[in-house]
Structure 1
């Protein structure tokens, strides 16, 4: 898979390095100098199963999925400017934040929002989306 041009301003981004979309959306869209990555669950792209039972394990895999999508878009995690973390239980915030901090450990950390109390598809504990520079 790779990038598919839909018009001059937008490109669909798709890769096998992340799980296929669960609905009617793209893994990411590249437009106007940015890459808009759809929410990623902690699903292992090889098995389609959650990477583990903890929010931290799922967050680590979600971030790996985002990294794979960004590679397909010719970008990377150092270019992420904004992220949103959706948590099923806000009590998991510290565990997820620690994993997030491992990935974004230097330079300008992305602006971010974390929201708890979410019903996330597939019974996941965490979902993360991102916006990066292309």
Structure 2
């Protein structure tokens, strides 16, 4: 058992299909396992088109991130596995609608087959910058004497 690694198992995201965690966290580094378009409540595949499935995958990623207080802006790198590269443009349209610039780095590869025969799976590398964001906000508000740790006000 590694006391420095935390398994992230959010209630609002699909359960793991095998011996793995939906995400693991080590310090500021977060690794999200590949998300496929499963309904978190039923465990069933959502949608038959690349657009429907990509929306569900991005929602599942959002649920895992939200469980840690994070958002899509914290994603630094994604790897997308797609069953058919002919769906690349449609995937990009949906995927991009969840993100803002600067966009994460990314790789996209066509694979022979994905779990449950879905059309897309996306894994993410995330950096938890919440502490740094709070420190920055405190500095901007002029509360540098206490680092912003005074419930939003200066000591």
TM-score between the two structures when normalised by the length of structure 1: 0.90
Larger Cα-atom Rg: 2
State the 4+ residue runs in structure 1 displaced beyond 3 angstroms.
none
Partner of 2:10: 15
Between 1:75-84 and 1:6-15, the stretch displaced more is: 6-15
The 8 Å contact of residues 90 and 117 in structure 1, kept in 2 or not, is answered as: no
The 8 Å contact of residues 15 and 69 in structure 1, kept in 2 or not, is answered as: yes
Question: Does residue 70 in structure 1 map to residue 71 in structure 2?
Answer: no
Return the alpha-carbon distance in structure 1 between the equivalents of residues 112 and 81 of structure 2. 6
- Cα RMSD (Å) of the superposition? 1.2
Structure 2 gaps, min length 5: 129-155
Structure that is richer in strand per residue = 1
TM-score between the two structures when normalised by the length of structure 2: 0.78
2:123 to 115, 129, 132: 129
Partner of 1:28: 23
Task: State how many pairs are aligned.
Answer: 128
Return the alpha-carbon distance in structure 2 between the equivalents of residues 63 and 28 of structure 1. 15
SS of the aligned residue for 1:64 comes to helix
SS of the aligned residue for 2:80 comes to strand
Question: Does residue 79 in structure 1 map to residue 79 in structure 2?
Answer: no
Query: Larger relative contact order (C-alpha < 8 A, sep ≥ 6)?
Result: 1
Matches within 5 A, 1:107-118: 107-118=101-112
Matches within 5 A, 1:32-71: 32-71=27-66
1:119 to 113, 116, 121: 113
Structure 1 gaps, min length 5: 1-5
